[in-house]
Amino acid sequence: MICLPNKKNFTPSGKIMSDKRISVGLVQIAPVWLNRDATIDKIVSWIDKAAAEGCTLVVFGEALLPGYPFWVERTDGARFDSALQKSLYAHYVSQAVCVENGDLEQISAAARKHGISIYLGTIERASDRGGHSLYCSMVYIDAAGTIGSVHRKLMPTYEERLVWAIGDGNGLQTHRVGPFTVGGLNCWENWLPLARASLYALGEDLHVAIWPGSERNTADITRFIARESRSFVVSVSGLMRREDIGAALPHADALADAADDLMANGGSCVAAPNGEWVLAPQSGEESLYVVEIDHRRVLEERHSLDVAGHYSRPDVTRLIVNRKRQTTAEFLDNE
């Protein structure tokens, strides 16, 4: 465990006294792969640890609950009408999160208990889209335990499209955490300039990027987004190892035979608004990394560049964002 904050700035309850600084916990862990309930228990235990370290905000990796679909590229995932792929997908759906059914209540309760805000990567079984397709969804839960937004990944990447559906703009939202305006994106959608721009336009000055794991994803873009936006950027990744494939999973032996020893090595990190590392990429182990960030650094760096403010030209270029939750039918019933 790496803890960086200056303890003299904490109250006895563990909260930062300064109204300009917060402590952020980056939780880099493996899921109890494809087991929703066991992974929730693990997540809650790490929320408890982050709260004990005085964190105001805690962040978990992409698709952590109940896990990233590492089998797709390793088991001929594009084979049409494959009995193996059907079986694995059916299990994946059964372990996915349905927000409306209260599947995240245990995590919301932990947020309420500790007064801590949470960003969490989930696989969502969306009831408003029939309940049988899956979305890679980034969930924000505030310090009162209320779910503030559910961002469905706009465009799954490559083989992810074999198991995840395409999301919408409803979750392109920001939230107030202490002095910061926080927003976030899933994995490679962090490379989408217009998605980033939509969050900048909402005043984002703390950007959360979540990943399934691998330093090759986080090492460059974390610092790039920080320098572009003059914001703090927190990248949080997961881990996945061959030994994380549980024996009780469907086709466990075939999955283990096809797996690499290490499929996701972490790479969680934090960049300051000038692009310098606050926490360089951390790889290879489960850990909680705690960093203290000061909002005054944002104000200093916005002096020279503010892409949604003094360095913008809305009279020349503007962005239109559709945040309507997409659905296949609208029912107009008699009152």
Q: Which of 73, 271, 104, 300 is nearest to 190 (CA)?
A: 271
- How far the first Cα of the chain sits from its last, in Å, is 58
Which pair of tokens denotes residue 258?
Answer: 């096809």
Query: Starting from the edge strand earliest in sequence, which strands make up the sheet with 57-60, in order?
Result: 2-3, 287-294, 21-28, 57-60, 117-125, 134-141, 147-152
Of 53, 55, 124, 187, catalytic: 187
Query: In the annotation, is 153 catalytic?
Result: yes
Distance CA 310, CA 302 (A): 9
Query: In the annotation, is 62 catalytic?
Result: yes
Q: Which of 144, 145, 139 is nearest to 173 (CA)?
A: 139
The CA angle 35-288-301, to the nearest 5 degrees, is 120
3-state secondary structure of 213: coil
Q: 26 φ, ψ to 5°? A: -100, 115
Q: Name residue, tokens 């409803």.
A: 170
Of 15, 42, 53, 62, catalytic: 62
Q: 153 φ, ψ to 5°? A: -50, 125
Mode of pairing for the β-strands spanning 180-186 and 206-211: parallel
Distance CA 203, CA 33 (A): 36
Of 153, 189, 292, 301, catalytic: 153
Q: Which residues contact 162 (CB under 8 A, 6 or more apart)?
A: 72, 77, 78, 85
Are the C-beta atoms of residues 199 and 158 closer than 8 Å to each other?
Answer: no
DSSP state of 70: T
Q: Which residues contact 187 (CB under 8 A, 6 or more apart)?
A: 62, 136, 153, 157, 209, 210, 211, 212, 217
Q: Which residues are catalytic?
A: 62, 153, 187
